[in-house]
A and B are shown apart, each in its own frame.
Chain A
Amino acid sequence: DTAVSQTPKYLVTQMGNDKSIKCEQNLGHDTMYWYKQDSKKFLKIMFSYNNKELIINETVPNRFSPKSPDKAHLNLHINSLELGDSAVYFCASTQGTKGVTEAFFGQGTRLTVV
């Protein structure tokens, strides 16, 4: 069983389009995250939700909007895609937020904007 699963694995789309990436975890964790990994492999936190509540919202364009329908799901919707949005997006989950313990990562979604 996959602990953290993301769909789709690959996403190629044109500039200006709107797209969504979905993430689900079956670990019973209460906190989920979105990370962006750029072409230089740098991992940057974007958002974090704890029990469906937004707790981390880094400096990310308003075109990115996370949604957490329940604590097992965290989706990422991106409006008006730009070339610079091309990256690999990783979902992760942990149990708790303070003194964060081990994070489990999804397989990543490679987004290519053309």
Chain B
Amino acid sequence: AQSVSQHNHHVILSEAASLELGCNYSYGGTVNLFWYVQYPGQHLQLLLKYFSGDPLVKGIKGFEAEFIKSKFSFNLRKPSVQWSDTAEYFCAVTGYALNFGKGTSLLVTP
């Protein structure tokens, strides 16, 4: 079964710092990959997704992710974070349902 691991559980950054959150999945076939964000007290919202094509995917709010098939990775990046990016970030891979990683809690300090 497909599974996802996120390397960083808690990340603290200052505003304007660059962000990279790691995500690796275990599945050798065709996968669809997602990053979701959950702002405090809210539901999950889609940041970006990869189905096929250009491995560099751009999402909302300046986020992007790069699919590297050889490394089974789909890392999330943002060049300059803002305080409003404080949230939980979940990587997910499709299987018979969306399988989520354990999430990364990002705190951006002013």
Q: Is A100 an interface residue (CB 8 A)?
A: yes
Find out whether the CB atom of B42 lies under 8 angstroms from the CB atom of A107.
yes
> What's the tally of chain B residues with a CB closer than 8 Å to chain A?
23
Q: Which residues of A contact B88 (CB under 8 A)?
A: 41
Complex CA gap A99/B30 in Å reads 8
Complex CA gap A41/B96 in Å reads 21
Find out whether the CB atom of A90 lies under 8 angstroms from the CB atom of B44.
yes
Find out whether the CB atom of A100 lies under 8 angstroms from the CB atom of B90.
no
Find out whether the CB atom of A102 lies under 8 angstroms from the CB atom of B96.
no
Q: Which residue of B46, B103, B105 contacts A43 across the interface (Cβ within 8 Å)? A: B103
Q: Is A114 an interface residue (CB 8 A)?
A: no
Find out whether the CB atom of B96 lies under 8 angstroms from the CB atom of A108.
no
CB of A90, distance to nearest CB on chain B (Å): 7
Q: Which residue of B94, B95, B98 contacts A92 across the interface (Cβ within 8 Å)? A: B98
Q: Which residues of B contact A42 (CB under 8 A)?
A: 100, 102-103
Secondary structure class of chain B's binding surface, majority of residues: strand
Q: Is B97 an interface residue (CB 8 A)?
A: yes
Q: Is B32 an interface residue (CB 8 A)?
A: yes
Q: Is B34 an interface residue (CB 8 A)?
A: yes
> Apart from A48-B97, A92-B44, A100-B97, what 20 extra A-B contacts exist at CB < 8 Å?
A33-B98, A41-B88, A42-B100, A43-B90, A45-B99, A56-B96, A90-B44, A99-B30, A99-B32, A99-B94, A100-B32, A100-B94, A100-B96, A100-B98, A103-B34, A103-B46, A105-B45, A106-B43, A107-B42, A107-B43
Q: Which residues of B contact A (CB under 8 A)?
A: 30, 32, 34, 38, 42-46, 49, 51, 88, 90, 94-100, 102-103, 105
Q: Which residues of A contact B (CB under 8 A)?
A: 33, 40-43, 45, 48, 55-56, 90, 92, 94, 97, 99-103, 105-108
Can you name 20 A-B pairs with beta carbons within 8 Å?
Answer: A41-B105, A42-B102, A43-B90, A43-B100, A43-B103, A45-B97, A55-B96, A90-B44, A92-B44, A99-B30, A99-B94, A100-B32, A101-B32, A102-B34, A102-B49, A103-B34, A103-B44, A105-B44, A105-B45, A107-B43
